[in-house]
Amino acid sequence: MRSAVVTGASTGIGRACALLLHSKGWMVFAGVRRAEDGDALRQAASDRLHPLPLDVTAPEQIRAAAARVAAAVGQSGLDALVNNAGIAVAGPLEFVPPAELARQLEVNVIGQVAVTQPFIPLLRQARGRIVNMGSVSGLVSLPFMGPYSASKFALEAITDALRLELTPWGIGVIIVEPGTIATPIWDKSGAAADLLAAAYPPEAQTLYGGTFAALRERVVAAGKRGLPPERVAAVVLEALTAERPRTRYVVAPAAPPCA
């Protein structure tokens, strides 16, 4: 039986990945921050799906998660690590508090590496694969998405370096780059951006308020019309099982044909 760890599996893309891998017969360790999210996943699956308490910014939880997975998989090692957990911090860079920028990078960049490190020996045993959840925001940066884009650009760099470093052991390192996917991240990040904006000095509203509000509305509306998370999960499965996986996969609607 193949085994996978999926971080950020409570909702959205991570949940879809955990359930798809489970449905294909994998043993899945689904990273969650709340016990009730683990229970809900378990109910949607079977006892082959193991909820794993895992905040990617909590070193103790990371250590405990790796130890638990190591004990469960034994000499077979781990076939897949899907680094999916993520948040989106949005706002004008002139006013985004540095602590928020740090939080963005802590979760989406440092957390991914911190989780990956203790799982590498298990992946080495199985000649497994790592899939990092990037974004098209890691290829093109949009206004007010600076913190998020910075994190996803960084993840591109980390993915490429890690791939080269782990080549001697046959560990594939792949980045999946979704476009707009309909998940709770849009409402969460919109609400978080509003909270942040409420604490900005008055000139922030004068300088950026109009454009930020217009863009926020468009982005959140586009999020609701996005592709279903299952589309990304299908690509993650392909990245994990293809004989010769690509190094990066964009997941976005096909462009209309040129006139």
Ligand X SMILES: NC(=O)c1ccc[n+]([C@@H]2O[C@H](COP(=O)([O-])OP(=O)(O)OC[C@H]3O[C@@H](n4cnc5c(N)ncnc54)[C@H](OP(=O)(O)O)[C@@H]3O)[C@@H](O)[C@H]2O)c1
Asked about 249 being catalytic, the answer comes back as no
**55 contributes a contact to ligand X by CB under 6 A:** yes
* Interface pick for ligand X out of 77, 82, 84, 200 (rule CB under 6 A): 84
Identify which range of 7-15, 162-170, 207-215, 238-246 contacts ligand X by CB under 6 A. Answer: 7-15
Which DSSP state fits 181?
A: B
**159 contributes a contact to ligand X by CB under 6 A:** no
The residue among 56 and 166 lying less far from ligand X, judged by its C-beta, is 56
Q: Which residue's entry shows tokens 């860079």? A: 93
Are 128 and 245 spatial neighbours (Cβ–Cβ below 8 Å)? Answer: no
**250 contributes a contact to ligand X by CB under 6 A:** no
What is the closest distance, in whole angstroms, from the C-beta atom of residue 203 to ligand X in the complex? 30
CA pair distance 167, 181, nearest whole angstrom = 31
| Among 116, 82, 104, residue whose Cα is nearest residue 149 | 104
Measured at the CA of 135, the angle between CA 186 and CA 84, to 5 degrees, comes to: 80
Number of helical (H) and strand (E) elements in the chain, helices listed first: 9, 7
Give the CA diameter of the chain. 61
Which DSSP state fits 182?
A: -
* CB neighbourhood size of 47 (10 A): 7
**183 contributes a contact to ligand X by CB under 6 A:** yes
The residue among 55 and 79 lying less far from ligand X, judged by its C-beta, is 55
* Interface pick for ligand X out of 2, 3, 4, 14 (rule CB under 6 A): 14
Identify which range of 2-10, 42-50, 93-101, 203-211 contacts ligand X by CB under 6 A. Answer: 2-10
Tell me which residues touch ligand X (CB under 6 A). Answer: 7-14, 33-34, 54-57, 84-87, 107, 111, 133, 135, 178, 180-181, 183-185, 188, 226, 229
